[in-house]
Structure 1
Amino acid sequence: MTNDNDFWLSLARQLASYRQQLRRPFIQGILGGQGTGKTTMCGILCLILKQLGYRTVSLSLDDLYKTYDERLALKQQDPRLIWRGPPGTHDVELGLTVLHQIRECQTSVAIPRFDKSLHAGAGDRTTPEIVENVDIVLFEGWFVGVRPIDPAAFDTAPPPIVTEEDKAFAREMNSKLSDYLPLWEMLDSLILLYPTDYRLSLEWRKQAERQMIAAGKPGMNEQQIEQFVNYFWRSLHPELFINRLVKSPTFVDLVISINPDHSFGAVYQPNNV
């Protein structure tokens, strides 16, 4: 299946159908690494669903980051948390509160928002968005729906999990995933945006940074990008966590394969592989 209007319309109609069957707001999880198109997907689906008469709100895992001050305190406790992003840097209770309020059909709900440009790029919470009578939530993020794995998997982990310190960090991030399970239980469905090679995320990030620099905006150099992406792979390595989910009809409802040029490849349900 290709990335065209028919696909988007079909997917939007499916979400609308789920909403009608549930008779309460429907929460769609979208899992994908850097550059897989999560934001684009949410934007397009929101537009189509609005035309179909459904009130849709997009919520990112990024919107649930702890405040700047809370993350400063966290970094002092654990200097390994040099960037926001890994498990433990989010306010899970805030996410649960918001999704519960929407599911209980509260008329007006404050959706948290996060501004990554604040504090010289460290980011912080900004003014919440007030939404009313939500029908569908698109909850996206780089590890939305990801579950803890057997710690023994890190004994023979792929690079950049190399040293004993790397393995200890990976095991700790794995254990912190347990805190997010109540949030994943709120999902009615999970879509996985699955690159044909997880290493494409690094190339896509480099492309994005080059474009920003060309446009006169600040961006990271190649070495900084590699350090940044490797940091995320050390915390939750795609080969260890995402590859398991691709084969799991228990947790994933739809897999969309992403080609190197960002186009869609195969679209399938895990149990139909």
Structure 2
Amino acid sequence: MTDTIPMIHEDALPGHESALDPKPEWQPRYPGSGRLAGKVAIVTGADSGIGRAVAALFAREGADVAILYLCEQDDAEETADIVRSEGRRALTIAGDVGDKAFCENAVAQVVAQLGKLDILVNNAGEQHPDKDITDISEQQLRRTFQTNIFGMFFLVQAARPHLKSGAAIVNCTSVTMYNGSKDLLDYSATKGAITAFTRSLSENLIGDGIRVNAVAPGPIWTPLNPCGGADEEKLATFGEKTPIGRPGQPNEIAPSFLFLACDDASYMSGQVLHPNGGMIVNG
């Protein structure tokens, strides 16, 4: 794809999970019950954060997992080891979800090596805080949309021929879509687009038995914030404004993705779950 905008290097994105202190909690909290037995899932941004926790939980519940990530190979390989430790197959694929050709090649590789595709989790995203809208460069604006929403379109387009009745798509939106974020104008705008995309795609695919839902996390301790330009003051109080009074951990969010991906949610499509520390939003 020749018109893909180069990645911005103004910050440390996507960031190494291994560099965080304290470490995010990705470990599944309970034994598996086979809710995804025999399934094959793609999880984007699965090298760290919420994506790693989702991959770990999916594997515990019986799924083979393809781990799509941008460039943090050491983190991605650790996630793959976690999946394999649960007795499941893991496949790591590095590349930019904002590149349509990469998405097509990645899906083809998953189907060729893992045999099929049942679940697509669109989790990868990027953010770049700015105090003033005039500080957002055209390159940054295009890049944020390219990763956060164009990548979802590209992956769904690539996956669609392989998704049969009973398949599930789960997108990651954000509490910023509902509450807004004065310093994350472009990021929150993409999350609004993701929610609208989720609802519309559900209407488009439900007749073929493919469910589409989303999860809207609140402030979660992952590499996205410390490596995405958040200042020390924000990090020192990160998550404290939630009613629960702290940031969430990735393994507190992963069960929402599992629920929407498995047959427990067989009567749900076009919906958004809100693991956000108790913030009340208009869902």
Shorter-normalised TM range: 0.3 to 0.5
Structure 2 length-normalised TM: 0.38
Quick one: higher RCO (CA 8 Å, sep 6+), 1 or 2? 1
State which structure, 1 or 2, has the greater radius of gyration over its C-alpha atoms: 1
Which of the two has greater strand per residue? 1
Structure 1 length-normalised TM: 0.39
